[in-house]
Structure 1
Amino acid sequence: MFRFIWGQLRGRAGRSVALLAGVLVATTGFVVLTGATTTSRLEVTGTVERNTRAAYDILVRPQGTRAPLEAERKLVRPNYLSGLYGGITPAQYEQVRAVAGVDVAAPIAMLGYSTTPIDMPVDLIGAVDRSLDRQVIRVDRTFLAERGLTHAPAKPIYVYVTKHRLLYPRLGDSYEPAAVRYTDGRAYDTQECGLVAREVLPDGRSAPVCDPYTAQLDTLFSLTERQTRRVETFRLLPDGRFERPTPGERPGTRTSSAESRLLLHLRLTVPFLLAAVDPDAEQQLVGLSGAVVDGRPLAVDDRVADNRYQGGLRSRTLPVLATSRPFLDGTLRAGYTRIVPDRSIAGVRPEDLAGTLRAAPATPAGGSTQDAVSAYRRQLATGLDGRTCCFGELQRILQPGETGYDERPDGTLRARTATIDPSVYADPKLATWFARPWLTEDVSFRPLTTVKLPPSQQDARQWKAVGVFDPQQLAGFSDLGRVPLETYEPPRAEGADARSRAALGGQPLEPSGNPAGYLSAPPLLLTNLASVQTLLQGTGPQGTAPISAIRVRVADVDGYSERSAERVRLIAEQINRVTGLDVDITLGSSPAPQTVELPAGAFGRPELRLTENWSALGVASTITKAVDRKSVALFGLVLVVCMLFLGNAVSAAVRDRRPELAVLACLGWPARRIGALILGEVALLGLAAGLLAVGLAFPLGFALGINVDWRRALLAVPVALLLALVAGLAPALRAARAHPAAALRQPVATARWVRRPRALPGLALVNLVRTPGRTLLGAGVLAIGVAALTLVTAAAYAFRGAIVGSLLGDTVSLSVRGADTMAAVATVLLGAAAVADVLYLNIRDRAPELATLRAVGWTDAALGRLIGYEGIALGLLGALTGAALGLGGAAWLVGDLPRPLLLVAAAVALAGVLVTSLAALVPAALLRRLPTARLLAEE
């Protein structure tokens, strides 16, 4: 039998080589492509494990603080801590620390926003005309934020420069506003203008240079820095220096100093978010002490300094670490105008000053622009013991809540505006040192409340920096695994469309300094828990449960793996069981871009469409499960396509030998022997193809950059043998059961139930119906290829944006896209080859019919169009079926069927039709080789 099989293979060398090539291509393709998918999976799991190590693995929050939108989308909004104030007691914190397996438990207690001034000195010496006896420099301020889109003019500041002598108040042990003694020894009434300098006029009299700021002190709580007015007075000395008033030793007194520069100290009031931490736990979590760049680290035993003075005044100073990076997008622009009044402005009431100067000659005298970050850093450079650094008030502490959203049909979130109770800002009971930030007049997105501290008329509450820390020197982790819950990460939002990107100048939107604004800055002031508990004593629920969240790092966990995930899950369940607090597993999380619409602001900022990174929980688990399902799907699809491709080739070979097999049956060969003959030929070819595939797999894998394992390469032999036997089983059974008279039948049946066609497309459909098995086989192979490509595209879509929607998913999609696409494209090409094979067999079986059509006048072009229509019909049947199967697989893989995937499936189906149309050109070109005369003679 073997010798007979070998003789058959040698006698039909061309057909044997063609079949051998088919088995070889299928087997080698299977080995290499499965190697590619395996390599891809290893790369994915490695990428996930390397990029999912964050500062902590579990986030513990007060019960019921998880927003509905978070639960719906399995996301955590960025800087959510800025809207969470207390809720966890110290006892619950100790319970978390006591759970077995907890390596670090770092609490954080958000207190709220404290305002601090940023000094922005401007030198006006270039605006001064030294020849004038007196002059006024008007400084017109414009505040800008949000990349300059938000801009608002402010009340002007006037700098009065005179060559006349100035007098300054000197207070004694008692203070009588109606009789304050000045440096000339005389007493003056200061009730109208306050403790201001007095100018000596040419006639010897003196008059006060009224400063409207002194009149605004009692109503400062109701004003923003944009609404404050000031008049600064300087004397131009004969030596060219400038004499200016400076604070005296006693409160409210003034003395003078002479400087070579004319410096006006403008001020930008900014809010800093204050939080309390456990310094030791924070050091273990992110290395807080190592990030201190000036001063000293915060200590666990630091306490509030409580000082008492005569008259009942009490000063309470909170020790803090201040940030070296304020993360503020703010700018102050100043324009200078020199005004020459016709007389002294001494004695002019503040409300009349602008009218008095309106008619005076005015000359532009330059300007300057300063940004908040640079000014803050210059302030830090003066040192912690300097006059301007680093302190702030705690008289009024603002606590912003959460931003609300409306969800659009396309998934876009639109931020809701919030209405602020004016008493939050304008409460006369809350004595304050500074006017509130100007941006508090802008549109608000967060509700605001104040910390209910005890009455402060006799208390001066403030914070003072003991050190400065740099957030960028804290322990860093992979950008792909970073979550917005990284406590000190500044939020940024990129423009999501061309209009928004153009408005932002291609830069991200950053926190503006509005406590109720959309983007909230991270904690920039840090104190210890002991101090904040002292400060909050007697304030109600927050005083007894001051901790806002606990960040937990689990021992023996270093990146995502199935073992680590299970360990973290068990500890998270234990924390929830012991404390009753809400627990989020942050291990394996990644930033997830969300599209947010931001309504227009009150000071010129247009409506913006932004992309903001939220935190997607469980991304690593989703990705690894998806890539496992994708690998299994691709293994199966590649195997099935190879098997069908071989089955079609063996069937073609059996059909080609129908007369020969019929003769063998007439000579008495039993059916089992005829079947064994077919299977023997196929098995021998499969064995040879497997051995050749072992040798080809390594160089081909090396050329494609795929690691082909030797064990998988050796599997090529049994795989090739098995594929060949399975593919040849059905044709062998069909050959064994064939009747000897079958050789006399037409190979192509007549479709009697089909209407007579009137055009070439109809005739093409009829021809396909005449060989239904062959047609369904070719379309089926193509359908599987299209389904595979659709499935791969869906997997990339899931990784990139629709379901997982994370930066980690983006990176994973890059690592899987090449190998998966190669596997899917290979299946489509095998499908196209099967379609071409079907068309070739149709041409060969219908050769007499085609010769007859040519004889009656059909041109080769018409016959070629007929074959082309058959190819297009086959392509449509296979591509549409494959697209439908691919969408079903995508829904299983992704867990949803987003609308964009429908467009993807349509595009892949169209590509499949185009490929099969091109494949149809090959058999159509064979029409010219038909021996018309011989075929007609044989017919």
Structure 2
Amino acid sequence: MIRLIISRILNRKIISLIMVIAFLSIFFLIPLGSQYTLQSQVSVKNTLEKHGRGSYDILLRPSDSRTEIEKTIGIVEENYVGDGKGGISISEWEEIKDNPDIEVAAPVASLGYFTGRQASIILPPLEHPARFKWQFYTSDGLNKYPLGEKQILTYFDNSKPDNLEYVWYPQGQDMLAGKSMYVVLPPSYHLLTAIDPESEKQLTGIDFSDLYADLDDPKFSLFSQMRQNYNNPPVIKVLQRSEIDNQIHMELSVEKLDVSLADYKKKLGLTDEQILLNAYEKKDELGKVVEELNKEPGSDRKDFDFDLSIFQRPFESVAMKIRDDFKVETSNGSMYSFNTSQYYTAQKIDYKFKGEQIQVEKVQEGNPPSYKEVVQKGAGLEESDEVPFMILQTGEFTASEKKGQLASSPLGIYSTSTTTTSKGESLTPTSVPGSFVPAPSSGVTTLDSAELVKGDKPIDAIRIRIDEITKYDASAQAKIENVAKDLLEAGYEVDIVAGSSFKEQQLEVEGIGQVTEPWTTLGVAQAIETSWNKTINVALSLFFLFGLSWLMARLVFEKNILKAENQTLFLIGWSPKKILQRNYSEQVILQSLAFLTAFILLFFVFEKSYAFLYAMGLFLFSLVITYGVLAREEKSRVRLEAYKNFSSIRHYLSIIAPTMLTLFTSTFLLIVQMAIIGETISEMDNTTMGQFINNQTLTIQMTIVAMTILLTVVSMIEGVHSLILKRKDEFNMYHTIGWTKSTILKHFLKEVLLWVMIAIFAGVIGGYSLLVILKVPLLWCMIGLLFSLINIIIPILTVVLAKKYEND
């Protein structure tokens, strides 16, 4: 019998090959798809465990400090500590950090917007009289905003050693004329925050030891002398951030003048030997001279725009000079100002909602406009007899952002992430308080200084890292939640930020338009895990269901093909048992060959995997089901009346039904899987962690979809092939009575499309119903429906291919 079986297999090479390919599809593609599905789940789990934890785990703030934006959509802006009002004392922080489960408790306090020492820039002496006009301005990266009034200086010559002859009479100021032409830069204001240097170093790895600098160090001698002049006020030591620039620019125009120095000395009542500086107290005459000089016609005008930001730092500016070739460089000997005791505080931005759009409105028009309520505090050195404090920059630190970081535990003060317009233009905070761009901390100081500025409860937030956690798994989450619960019961506002991630947030900013900022979602890791678990469970269940229906359809095909042959064997004397043995043995050989091939292929894909056990299980299950299907006796029914409608479909339903079942299951799977995968990817694509996981698993998910389509194609080819074989005599009869091959194909295609559409429509109804139960958004339901229509193309192609094969 074995020889007969082998001979039959070889004689039916094409049919046997199709059968081997069919079972190979079951034993290879289904385990492969299931393994990929499980791998995607493991990939998500490993990603969350490895990357789900940022710099710290819990964000603790004073009670009632949660903003409306957090309450509404569960996200916080970068540098969220800025503009905080305090609420936690140093003693409360010390009590919190003594908790044995807490490894690090790093406090931070926002003090406001402060200025440092101002520098000056020297104008170049030229070989001819000239008029210098300049305007300082700041920029947000998109627009320029003037700082102060436009100034005009008239230069005469440098004929006498160490004395430049020029006239500059700024409004409201005394005359400035004489030995050098220097211009003092306008003050700029930058966010200053207070930290605990030790705990902040544990959290960030940054050395803040320069905050303990000795004021008696000779390098601070000039500052000490100035401080003595104001009765030694308290000192706020500041470490400025090295990579933060001071957004200061200077527009300068230079015109050649045809004027005589001697003529204007006479107008000021000076002799030729006297210098212009001798006219210092002649206010009225000087004002008239300046007005006349400003009306003098100029020539050979040259315009320059100097970016001084690269030379300036928030709390320690650098003296500069403009060379004769109008290039800017650093200089020595320029004047500095120590007027640092005036500062500003600002309210947090009041974000508005218009539908789902977040809007930022102007609070006050101006140059630049303000998007926050800003309040001036402190006092200038020349305005008060009692100076509250003086700022001293004692060093620098660098806080470069971690590139490619998935989790976001926003430290609240260091982010320099780019804010961009809809056209891709980068926006930055201006040097004036009130910008909508979340300003990073330009400098840090100590908590003692915070108490000096804000009182006895200066701390705005404490960043907490839990002890003895190596990865962000279930046990770590439980430990973090327990600590958070205790802190919440103590009356604080508590957020678990472990498992958070970055999100590109769209804002509509008045006067600018739509901008994009990197914000932080809270608790995204848990949402990702829940979402993917749902996706994985649905994918595995549907894929198993599809594989089962596919296997049943394959066996029914084979049984239908064997019917006529079994009848012939029975007539020549074969017993039903022997016929069954032969048929079953043939199937065992073909399925074994397919299984061994699948096993080898799986070995090349996975060296060690549950896919091998899955394939083995499918193989054994297939053998059992094969025997059951082949051994099942069907009662023959004799029809006495012809079918009135759809006679061909109803007559061949035993062959068509398995293919319809496969199409139904395939359509059902495609619509549900594509909708759920699309929904999950869309939800996660808003965050960096979700984008990373999407990139890791998208190929796997699409491979599963491709395998589903491939199995459907194989099933359709087999089904149509079996149907054509069964109707071969019928088609020959059509041809004999005059039908063309084209007419026969159209007739056959209409019938196929009818039962195909019934199967697909049933799959669509079933899939959509499940999506409604799972509460998948309507948009993704529609996308799933559209994608499932790919099954309409498959049967058309398979009909054409199968018919071509039969004709050939």
TM range, normalised to the smaller chain?
A: 0.7 to 0.9
User: Counterpart in 2 of 1:759?
Assistant: none
The range that moved more, 53-62 or 320-329, is: 320-329
Q: Kindly indicate whether residue 343 of structure 2 is the aligned counterpart of residue 396 of structure 1.
A: yes
Q: Equivalents in 2 of 1:301, 1:158: separation in Å? A: 40
Alignment partner of 2:299 out of 363, 369, 385: 363
TM-superposed CA distance for 1:404, in Å, is: 0.8
Change (3 A) 1:198 1:908: closer
User: Counterpart in 2 of 1:908?
Assistant: 787
TM-superposed CA distance for 1:453, in Å, is: 9.1
Assess if the C-alpha contact under 8 Å between 1:53 and 1:478 holds in 2.
no
Q: Kindly indicate whether residue 519 of structure 2 is the aligned counterpart of residue 574 of structure 1.
A: no
User: Counterpart in 2 of 1:30?
Assistant: 30
Assess if the C-alpha contact under 8 Å between 2:549 and 2:662 holds in 1.
yes
Letter in 2 for 1:371: D
Q: Kindly indicate whether residue 622 of structure 2 is the aligned counterpart of residue 723 of structure 1.
A: yes
TM-superposed CA distance for 1:549, in Å, is: 0.5
Q: Kindly indicate whether residue 29 of structure 2 is the aligned counterpart of residue 137 of structure 1.
A: no
Alignment partner of 1:593 out of 484, 499, 504: 504
Assess if the C-alpha contact under 8 Å between 2:182 and 2:334 holds in 1.
no
Change (3 A) 1:921 1:452: farther
Instruction: Trace 1:556-705 onto structure 2 (pairs within 5 A).
Output: 556-577=468-489, 579-600=490-511, 607-659=512-564, 682=587, 685-699=590-604, 701=605
Alignment partner of 1:446 out of 358, 369, 372: 372
TM-superposed CA distance for 1:547, in Å, is: 1.0
User: Counterpart in 2 of 1:414?
Assistant: 359
Q: Equivalents in 2 of 1:528, 1:890: separation in Å? A: 56
User: Counterpart in 1 of 2:708?
Assistant: 827
Q: Equivalents in 2 of 1:122, 1:672: separation in Å? A: 110
Assess if the C-alpha contact under 8 Å between 2:240 and 2:395 holds in 1.
yes
User: Counterpart in 2 of 1:854?
Assistant: 735
Q: Equivalents in 1 of 2:248, 2:752: separation in Å? A: 65
The range that moved more, 510-519 or 42-51, is: 42-51
Q: Equivalents in 2 of 1:891, 1:645: separation in Å? A: 26
Assess if the C-alpha contact under 8 Å between 2:507 and 2:516 holds in 1.
yes
Assess if the C-alpha contact under 8 Å between 2:249 and 2:305 holds in 1.
yes
Change (3 A) 1:165 1:768: same
TM-superposed CA distance for 1:335, in Å, is: 2.2
TM-superposed CA distance for 1:75, in Å, is: 1.7
TM-score normalized by the length of structure 1: 0.72
RMSD of aligned residue pairs (Cα, Å): 4.3
Alignment partner of 1:405 out of 329, 344, 352: 352
Change (3 A) 1:118 1:390: closer
Q: In the TM superposition, what whole-angstrom CA distance separates every residue of 1:467-496 from its partner, at most 9, and x where no partner exists?
A: 33333358x475222344453111422344
Name which structure has the greater RCO, CA cutoff 8 Å, separation 6+. Answer: 2
Q: Equivalents in 1 of 2:413, 2:776: separation in Å? A: 33
User: Counterpart in 2 of 1:928?
Assistant: 807
Q: Equivalents in 2 of 1:515, 1:780: separation in Å? A: 68
Alignment partner of 1:752 out of 621, 644, 662: 644
Assess if the C-alpha contact under 8 Å between 1:572 and 1:585 holds in 2.
yes
Q: In the TM superposition, what whole-angstrom CA distance separates every residue of 1:373-408 from its partner, at most 9, and x where no partner exists?
A: 30215966679x997789662323222312413244
Please give the secondary structure, in 2, of the residue aligned with 1:396. Answer: strand
Assess if the C-alpha contact under 8 Å between 2:236 and 2:389 holds in 1.
yes
User: Counterpart in 2 of 1:212?
Assistant: 171
User: Counterpart in 2 of 1:763?
Assistant: none
Instruction: Trace 1:489-500 onto structure 2 (pairs within 5 A).
Output: 489-496=415-422, 500=423
Q: Kindly indicate whether residue 462 of structure 2 is the aligned counterpart of residue 535 of structure 1.
A: no
Assess if the C-alpha contact under 8 Å between 2:145 and 2:368 holds in 1.
no
User: Counterpart in 1 of 2:699?
Assistant: 818
Q: Equivalents in 2 of 1:558, 1:614: separation in Å? A: 26
Assess if the C-alpha contact under 8 Å between 1:276 and 1:526 holds in 2.
yes
User: Counterpart in 2 of 1:155?
Assistant: 149
Assess if the C-alpha contact under 8 Å between 2:211 and 2:446 holds in 1.
no
Assess if the C-alpha contact under 8 Å between 1:319 and 1:465 holds in 2.
yes
User: Counterpart in 2 of 1:917?
Assistant: 796
The range that moved more, 343-352 or 624-633, is: 343-352
TM-score normalized by the length of structure 2: 0.82
Q: Equivalents in 2 of 1:677, 1:745: separation in Å? A: 31
User: Counterpart in 1 of 2:107?
Assistant: 107
Alignment partner of 2:405 out of 479, 483, 486: 479
Letter in 2 for 1:576: L
Please give the secondary structure, in 1, of the residue aligned with 2:703. Answer: helix
Change (3 A) 1:750 1:836: farther
Please give the secondary structure, in 2, of the residue aligned with 1:139. Answer: strand
Q: Equivalents in 2 of 1:669, 1:96: separation in Å? A: 89
Change (3 A) 1:644 1:143: same
TM-superposed CA distance for 1:27, in Å, is: 0.6
Q: In the TM superposition, what whole-angstrom CA distance separates every residue of 1:139-194 from its partner, at most 9, and x where no partner exists?
A: 1326252334345596332223345999xxxxxxxxxxxxxxxxxxxxxxxxxxxx
User: Counterpart in 1 of 2:462?
Assistant: 550
TM-superposed CA distance for 1:617, in Å, is: 1.9
Assess if the C-alpha contact under 8 Å between 1:99 and 1:574 holds in 2.
no
Q: Equivalents in 2 of 1:691, 1:334: separation in Å? A: 82
Q: Equivalents in 2 of 1:658, 1:86: separation in Å? A: 86
Q: Equivalents in 1 of 2:339, 2:680: separation in Å? A: 46
Please give the secondary structure, in 2, of the residue aligned with 1:547. Answer: coil
Identity percentage of aligned residues: 17
Q: In the TM superposition, what whole-angstrom CA distance separates every residue of 1:117-156 from its partner, at most 9, and x where no partner exists?
A: 653625333xx344xxxx4523132625233434559633
Q: Equivalents in 1 of 2:17, 2:662: separation in Å? A: 22
Q: Equivalents in 1 of 2:98, 2:626: separation in Å? A: 63
User: Counterpart in 2 of 1:332?
Assistant: 250
Alignment partner of 1:289 out of 207, 216, 236: 207
The range that moved more, 806-815 or 872-881, is: 872-881
Q: Equivalents in 1 of 2:204, 2:546: separation in Å? A: 53
User: Counterpart in 2 of 1:435?
Assistant: none
Change (3 A) 1:48 1:352: farther
